Structure 1
Amino acid sequence: MNNSEMGKKILEGLGGPENISHFTHCATRLRVTPKSKAAIDKKAIENVPGVLSIIEQSGQTQVVLGDKVEAVYNEMQKLPGVSGVGEGSVAAGNEVADPNEKKANWITRTFDVLSDSFRPVLWALLGSSMILTLIVLLQQLGVFGTYTNFAGEVVNKDLVNGPKLGDAALNADMLNSWRTEYTFWFLILAASLSVLNFMPIMIGATAAKRLGANMWVGAAIPAALMTDAFRGLSEILPEGANHLDLFHIGGWAVPLYLFSYTGQIFPPLFAAALLAPLERFLKKIIPTMLHMVFVPMISILILVPLTALVIGPFGILLGQGISDLFGWLNDIAPWLVGAVIAGTYLFMVPLGLHWPLNAVMINNLQTNGFDFIQSPMAAYNFAVFGLVTGVAIRAKHDKELRQTATGAAVSGLLGGISEPSLYGVVLRYKRVFPLILVPAVIGGALISALGVKSYAFAFTSLLSIPAMQPIPLFAIGLAIAYFGAMAGVLIFGYESKAQAAESRAKRENAPAIDAEGGEAAVVDTVESGAPVAHESEVLHSGARTATAGTAAATGATASSASATAAPVATSPDSYEAGTVLDIASPIVGRAIPLSEVPDPIFAAAKLGKGAAIEPTGNTVVAPADGKVIATPASGHAVGLKLDNGAELLIHVGIDTVNLGGEGFDVKVKKGERVTAGQTLLTFDHDIIKKAGYPLTTPVLVTNTVKFDDVEGATGDVTQSDKILKITTK
């Protein structure tokens, strides 16, 4: 399924564009705020191939797609009715939410807005930070040479932070000499610092848009405090002062604190929070024809001075306070900070609570030039990546899981994104939590205790290791986390006892190639709407379980079956092209098209073409001579390989596996030879109906790919009537 088809299916499951009031995405998830959750078909979305998980959080429906998310989002934006639902925007006509929907509390909404404000910037931030990581690595390698600092030490030239000579004039002179010598690299340095330095403008825009205000007015407010006109006021500060007296009210002077707003996070967020209600108020009192001029004019006139006087200083002090608190804890017990951060991330990421920490990391980088939160957090990432690597190694009998784990490990190690691992493997096998937590906590505690700090914002991966210094000490912590988690899963496994028992049962019901050289596959539970790779995926050469056969004569007895010699099964390739094989109905009832089966997997012929029967009888018989190749313990289905080489799956009812065998009486065993008309199983209509499951019985040619066509009959059928017409290639 391509990205466009995925987008269409997901949009249908979300209730269509008319049910969306807010639509955006992050690195791994589509994030949708619906008008009504009742209109969302969660099951349908989960059944879309490529969807890892669905999370209901913060009033959002979050569809986890992994690294496909941006491509799918872009395709969804092209769909009719979606183009107006831009990133972080509200679709026209969708502003009114369902009054019956429960709203999230203010703390949840605050975190939601905070994370939604960061996500659009994240792409550019990570890209520019990786450039900064490259420059830091080159500095560490001594590519730019060395100089003697104010302490008399010979150290590598630091283009990012400048020289340290103990005198401002000397520092400026040496920095200018470096600029002359490494002009190209200072150009690259400008690229690496672009997002970090001008973060207030970007966050002002995204936060304003998220809150329903004009994004460019949201950007203009912090931009005003980064102009030379504002920054130039620091030139007239009295010596030793940090503020100017703006004006006097009576005998009280109103102070204007002249902070640097480069790279600040909280001031533009708070300004946007005031801009949104101010705009709504102004639009009510100002005539519509004057909105375009006077709403932004008055908003800027009010909020720029207010931000400079109150909002900005408060935001800067708040950010510094949070940073100082973490710094204080880190000074007292760095190992404890590292252990807590690495240990709690496993629970914070699914809840979206890790986004506020990003603001603290960025604030630390801008204020201190380094951060001490991101480095121990990397231990969590690498513990997760190590675990899924171990799962990929151990999952020998589960091709789908092995592919999922391998892809998650590669994308994590190279891209630093943990969500594909988290939703594709970890949350599916919750017994692995301790296998992640123990090495992550140990690795995180060691990284912090060794004083490792980050000097650029990046998703921690193999490529971003140079952003953490010292690299050797950081690598030790990562190795403990990665190999510790991988060793844990290799030793203790990843499945619970129940999951392991289920896997064993599935393998036992998946016979290998039979004596006649035929191919076998698993016939297992087919849950309504669920992916069924483990139920029908072929174990050899792409074939699937099923029975196909020649036209069956009825009335043969079980005893005659046992007395009949076992002929060698015919291969579909042995027929002349165009040969027609007729398959008799295994049940008395009414044949219907496969597309009418109340299960998307069967209806879409994903397990093979065929027909379905609404049974009036209660006995399933062999439609032709052949061999039983699968009889699941639940007794609800049987797989046959007919002597003409066709394979057939007869699946009685939908979701009937959940009955655990109740109401079914299987008369044959796997590997047994059967003849046309021999009873395979009987079932109780009343028990199945009472349980609420449809009796519709798919009859599928699961090795359809080996034939030119398979056509199903319709109408009333007995066990002597043709139900399938198979044409050979």
Structure 2
Amino acid sequence: MSQEKLARDIVNKIGGKENITRAWHCVTRLRFHVKDESKVDVDGIRKLTGAMGAQFQNGQFQVIIGNKVMEVFKEVESIVGSNNKSDVDESSASKKKLLSRFFDMISGVFSPVIPAIAGAGMMKGILALLQVLGWISVESDAYQVLTIISDAAFYFLPFLLAISAAKRFKVSEYLAVALAGALLYPTITAGVASGESGLKFLGMSVPFIGYSATVIPIIIAVWILSYVYKLINRIVPSTVRVVLTPTLVFLIMIPFTLIVAGPIGFVVGDYVGIAVAWIYEHGGVFAGILIGGLMPVFVVTGMHYGFAPIILQNMGKYGYDNAILPLNIVNSLAQAGAAFAVSFRTKNKKLKSLAVSTGVSALLGVTEPAVFGVNLKLKRPLYATMIAGAISGGMVVYFGVKCFGFILQGLEAFPVYIDPASPMNLVYTIISMIVAFIIAFVMTLILGFEDVPADEEESTKENKTTSLSHEGEEIGSPLTGKVLPLQDVPDKTFSGEILGESIAIEPSANILVSPFDGTVAMIYPTKHAIGLRSENGLEVLIHIGLETVNLEGRFFDVKVEQGQRVQKGQDLISFDREAIISEGYNMVTLVIMTNSDQFSTVEKLDLDYQVIKTEEQIFNVQK
């Protein structure tokens, strides 16, 4: 499939460019903000050749592409055109959970600067290799020039982050770069070098702090700049705005950055590094086991972007990272090992080909294709990677492995693990990588997985769903949203299935529909729940949200009456999801089979963490 056709199919299945408010990409994923999640054909996108997977995560819709993501994004961008605005109104984003917004911000700020710091990081590794081989002297001019090449991106990192953060926070990049320039102004850097305490401005202290290679100070400064600029621009008359607005912004923001934002950000960054060091100092090998074992989960949830400030902080302060990157490289090998084990064992030709290609990608440090395309879909291979990541993660911490460059953590990263002062650093890295690969490979074979029986890229469970549809009554989903494991429902009555076989759905749209043809048996006075009876006598209770009875009907609008006959897919209740959440209520909705004991079979499909649409099958019932 050509990249143009793939991009066009993705955009069409998202609901067209009109449904896209923002599009961008990271190393392996296309990322979108959409207006209406219910218009997104998640399953359809997953079936496209060239798409490794698709999911809603952290308020974004993500399509996992792999190594060709930049090529596909260029085509997406040409299709989306003016709809791909970095300055779109993201008021809806403010309604997302704080943690989701944080990871969204981290991803948006750090993804664009990765090529620069990756290139500089690789150069550091090459320079270390040249030293170890004795091909270059630290006193030579060539060494000095190569040092400039490898250090420039890190030294001037505040400039790179200023541009990226300005785009993310929707403010002028040039004003943001000026703030970074203030942090690295020669007076400041010279003061740091000479050991002077600082300057005075209007009776306030301007401390001399080394901001080179720092992360948090400039991000805080640009974030505040975005608000100050909008406020001043609103006040200043349009006739003098071009000159007066930036003048006032500089008069306010540069002193504020040097006196408040910069020092606070520096201290915060310093304590982040201290906190991580404390965890490793007191947790030791256990810290490596815990974080290494959870690294695949961090990748699945997108939480791994939250580690970027820690890595860069360590790089700037110590010249290396021994907390996160060594765990990443063994995770890459673990993902590759599991994928290759799948290719070794499966009899499905397409799955075998997919596992080999994604395994190679993981060997090179790009793990998302293997995670989403193979290991997560089959589940047990992902468990194998977690076991391998825990064991090899403990090893790299035990050995004290250090990484000297922020690049993709795969086989090509060997140079950045060369330490001229400790040649064993690379040896320990290689040993840990081999262990990660072998354990993941062997554990995948031991744990096994349910092979895909047909030559198609459908998961086993999707095939199972199709075959079940002819064996009994299909119960469709009454909502569009993500299916959650019952153990994640913070209500013991529901999570324990005391009322009957249940499924939990976190809705992404504001309408509840009938899951089958039948009759409305009961409508609760508070409108938050409804009872239905199918034509075969199955009784179903649908409870919208947790504790929403306390709302006494507010934000709910019932579309049917008790005793009314309804058809599958017919609207039953509309509700204001955002308003209910703003009131502090959990929107997890339970679909409960209340008389399942009267049926020979009530089979719940395994859909945990999958995004489903209304009417898609969730239960198979037989009399």
TM-score after normalising by structure 1: 0.60
Aligned: 1:115 with 2:107: yes
Partner residue of 2:340? 389
Verify the 8 A CA contact 2:162 2:180 in the aligned structure 1: yes
Partner residue of 2:579? none
1:456 to 383, 405, 411: 405
SS at match of 1:27: coil
Partner residue of 1:591? none
Distance 1:662 1:22 in 2: 43
SS at match of 2:294: helix
Distance 2:276 2:91 in 1: 39
Amino acid of the structure 2 residue aligned with 1:58: N
Partner residue of 1:336? 286
Are residues 335 and 532 of structure 1, via their aligned partners in 2, closer, same or farther at CA, if it must alter by over 3 Å?
closer
SS at match of 1:425: helix
Q: Using the TM superposition, give the Cα deviation of residue 96 of structure 1 relative to its aligned residue in structure 2, in angstroms.
A: 6.7
Aligned: 1:219 with 2:173: no
Verify the 8 A CA contact 1:338 1:377 in the aligned structure 2: no
Verify the 8 A CA contact 1:343 1:440 in the aligned structure 2: yes
Distance 2:256 2:444 in 1: 56
Distance 1:21 1:281 in 2: 24
Q: Using the TM superposition, give the Cα deviation of residue 17 of structure 1 relative to its aligned residue in structure 2, in angstroms.
A: 2.5
Verify the 8 A CA contact 2:350 2:457 in the aligned structure 1: no
Partner residue of 1:184? 142
Q: Using the TM superposition, give the Cα deviation of residue 132 of structure 1 relative to its aligned residue in structure 2, in angstroms.
A: 1.5
Bigger Cα displacement from structure 2, 20-29 vs 32-41: 32-41
Distance 2:39 2:150 in 1: 44
Distance 1:4 1:224 in 2: 44
Verify the 8 A CA contact 2:214 2:313 in the aligned structure 1: yes
Verify the 8 A CA contact 2:380 2:444 in the aligned structure 1: no
SS at match of 1:410: helix
Q: How far does the alpha carbon of each residue in 1:302-348 deviate from its partner, in whole angstroms, 9 at most, with x for none?
A: 11111111111111111111111222332334312221221121111
Distance 2:202 2:332 in 1: 52
Are residues 660 and 445 of structure 1, via their aligned partners in 2, closer, same or farther at CA, if it must alter by over 3 Å?
same
Are residues 234 and 50 of structure 1, via their aligned partners in 2, closer, same or farther at CA, if it must alter by over 3 Å?
closer
Q: Of the two, which has the highest radius of gyration?
A: 1
TM-score after normalising by structure 2: 0.70
Partner residue of 1:476? 431
Partner residue of 1:2? 2
Partner residue of 2:11? 11
Listed as ranges, the gaps of 5+ residues in structure 1 are: 146-158, 160-177, 249-253, 507-521, 523-529, 535-631, 635-654, 664-685, 694-729
Structure scoring higher RCO (CA < 8 A, sep ≥ 6) equals 2
Verify the 8 A CA contact 1:35 1:96 in the aligned structure 2: no
Aligned: 1:659 with 2:469: yes
Counterpart mapping for 1:154-303 below 5 A: 159=138, 178=139, 181=140, 183-234=141-192, 241-248=196-203, 254-303=204-253
Distance 1:46 1:82 in 2: 24
Distance 1:343 1:442 in 2: 8
Counterpart mapping for 1:489-528 below 5 A: 489-493=444-448, 495=449, 499-500=450-451, 503=453, 506=454
Aligned: 1:426 with 2:375: yes
Q: How far does the alpha carbon of each residue in 1:353-385 deviate from its partner, in whole angstroms, 9 at most, with x for none?
A: 111211111110111112111113322221111
Tell me the matched-pair count. Answer: 471
2:89 to 91, 95, 98: 95
Are residues 247 and 233 of structure 1, via their aligned partners in 2, closer, same or farther at CA, if it must alter by over 3 Å?
farther
SS at match of 1:417: coil
Distance 1:207 1:190 in 2: 25
Verify the 8 A CA contact 1:120 1:206 in the aligned structure 2: yes
Counterpart mapping for 1:52-67 below 5 A: 52-67=52-67
Are residues 73 and 218 of structure 1, via their aligned partners in 2, closer, same or farther at CA, if it must alter by over 3 Å?
same
Q: Using the TM superposition, give the Cα deviation of residue 234 of structure 1 relative to its aligned residue in structure 2, in angstroms.
A: 4.6
SS at match of 1:256: strand
Q: How far does the alpha carbon of each residue in 1:363-416 deviate from its partner, in whole angstroms, 9 at most, with x for none?
A: 101111121111133222211111111112222x111111111111111212x1
Distance 2:216 2:249 in 1: 19
Verify the 8 A CA contact 1:36 1:97 in the aligned structure 2: no
Distance 2:410 2:232 in 1: 47
SS at match of 1:78: helix
Partner residue of 1:705? none
Distance 1:429 1:189 in 2: 46
Q: How far does the alpha carbon of each residue in 1:257-281 deviate from its partner, in whole angstroms, 9 at most, with x for none?
A: 1111111100111011101111221
SS at match of 1:436: helix
Verify the 8 A CA contact 2:3 2:75 in the aligned structure 1: yes
SS at match of 1:61: strand
Q: How far does the alpha carbon of each residue in 1:217-249 deviate from its partner, in whole angstroms, 9 at most, with x for none?
A: 1222112221224334457x7xx653334343x
Q: Using the TM superposition, give the Cα deviation of residue 691 of structure 1 relative to its aligned residue in structure 2, in angstroms.
A: 11
Distance 1:192 1:403 in 2: 38
Aligned: 1:44 with 2:44: yes
